[in-house]
Amino acid sequence: MMKYISHEELISPLESALIEMNIKSPEKLQNCMMGALTQEKSDPAREMFSEILENYVIAQEECLPLCQDTGMVMAEVSIGIEVVLTGGTFQEALNEAIRRAYQKSYFRKSILSDPLIGKNTGDNTPGIVFIQQTSGNEFRVNLLIKGGGCDNISALKMMTPGIASDEIKKFVLQELDKNASRACPPLIVGIGIGGNAAYAMYLASRALGRPLGTPNRCKEYHQWEEQWKNEINQLGIGPQGVGGKMTCLEVRIESHPSHIASLPVGMVCSCHVFRQKMLSW
């Protein structure tokens, strides 16, 4: 059965979600931070976790941004073949929602029309959109907002086919040991394995965009997620880089078939302000 969704039906929920994501920390994230605080032994790190949690409360009570960097918006769209969008494209709807949300809430506008020769767009548009088509008439949008600091430590490496998983772990640990403190930890780390170079980075972003507490369904990958998280937390970087036990809250891995001659591995991270929300119509 065909489902028709109008432009305005998309814009209003998207706008509300973007405002909420920038000022309200989800309960699951707060629980993760409380859990990290209880595990932390370092006094400076414990103080930093307390300040992070206090920031969550103040932001929600005062309707202020959780972070001064209100980020770039990314949307992963899953659209059924029986869904018809009317009145405009999804990209247009997302951009209008961003425009309204960021202007209404006085969020910082951080997007340049061109990274080398462009000026600030003035409304934080455009958003980044990935679209995949599915069967049926479901329409789902997974929103993710990331600041520049955590995005700047993203990494891609073309590895040797047939290597052991420990070699991928070594790459992740090396990158985070060098750069994690620049990304406002504790981090959530997304790893994409397979596809081609471009798709590996998309897989990493898809992994990062999973809701908190959603491990990979594959037993082996779930085990690696836990193992790699534990080893990241042995780096001693700690929250905001002040040192300590808790540098990473979760590792998520997504994989995809790849060419026999290639093994691309992508890594992307979110800072301690994990801004993710799923919408459906």
The CA-CA-CA angle for residues 193, 194, 198, to 5°, reads 95
Strands 128-134 and 72-80, bridge-based pairing: parallel
Name residues whose C-beta falls within 8 Å of residue 151's C-beta, 6 or more positions apart in sequence.
72, 268, 269
Amino acid at 50: S
Q: So where are the chain's domains?
A: 3-24+66-145, 148-280
Q: Phi and psi dihedrals of 65, rounded to 5?
A: -60, 140
pLDDT of residue 35: 96
If DSSP codes are grouped into helix, strand and coil, which group holds residue 269?
strand
User: pLDDT tens across 208-255, in order?
Assistant: 999 999 999 999 999 999 999 999 999 999 999 999 999 999 999 999
Intervals of the chain under pLDDT 70: none
User: pLDDT tens across 103-117, in order?
Assistant: 999 999 999 999 999
pLDDT of residue 174: 98
Fold classified for 3-24+66-145: Dihydrodipicolinate Reductase; domain 2 (3.30.360)
Q: What is the DSSP letter of 235?
A: S
User: DSSP assignment of 114-142, as one string?
Assistant: STTTPPB-SS-PPPEEEEEEESTT-EEEE
pLDDT of residue 1: 87
Using alpha carbons, select from 76, 58, 59 the residue that is nearest to residue 276: 76
